Amino acid sequence: MTVQAQRSGGGYLNRPSPSSLADVVEIILDKGIVIDAYIRVSLVGIELLTIDARIVIASVDTYLRFAEATNRLDLYEKGGKDLGEFIGDMQENGASGKVSGAVKGAKKALTSGGDDEDDDEQERRPRRSSSGARRRSSSR
């Protein structure tokens, strides 16, 4: 998730491999010419694929996730994790497991096979990162 890790060839612009299935799904799945439904043409098999990224998370859950992420920030002074943050992490892992589990489960039908890398991140931001604060300060 760090910028540095995604750079290729010293560039800042991340250029994913064109064959990455996760990119293919994200980019092309519901695009292209659609033939009117009344003629004898079918769009079949789509339901399985479009579940992905259509999971709407209730706004309160979203607020809570962003609140937690904001509270994890290392804004001023903190050196290491304090106890509150540890407890927060543990509880988050329990709760967020359900949400991300559902997203992953839907996506798994498609991308179970290994090359989905980090591409299932949309709709799940902010993502869990216990060392994020230190990474941020080192990237500035």
Partner 1 sequence: MTVHPEETVLFVYAVVPADHAVPTDAKGVDDNPLEVVQQGPIAAVFSEMTAIRPPGRRADLTAYSAVVEALVPGGAVAPMRFGTVVPDRDVLVNEVLAPRADELAAVLADLEGRAQYHLRVTFVEEAVLTEIAEADPRVRELREATRDLPEDAVVGDRIRLGELVTQSWERWAHADADRILSELVPMLSTHRVRREPGLSAVLDLALLVDADRSQEVEDRLEHMAAESAGRLNFRLAGPMAPYDFVGSG
Q: Which residues bind partner 1 (CB under 8 A)?
A: 3, 6, 11-16, 18-19, 21, 23-35, 39-49, 60, 62-71, 73, 75, 82, 84, 87-88, 91, 109-113, 122-123, 125-127, 129, 132-133, 135-136, 139-140
Is the Cβ of residue 104 or residue 135 nearer to partner 1 in the bound state?
135
Look-up of token digits 């491999």: 17
CB of 102 to partner 1, least distance (A): 16
Q: How many CA atoms lie within 13 A of 22 on its CB side?
A: 19
Q: Which is nearer to partner 1, 73 or 102 (CB)?
A: 73
Supply the minimum distance, in Å, between the C-beta of residue 105 and partner 1: 15
* Integer Cα distance of 56 and 58 in angstroms: 6
CA–CA separation, 113 and 119 (whole Å): 14
Contact 106, 25 (CB under 8 A): no
CB of 98 to partner 1, least distance (A): 15
**DSSP tag of 73:** -
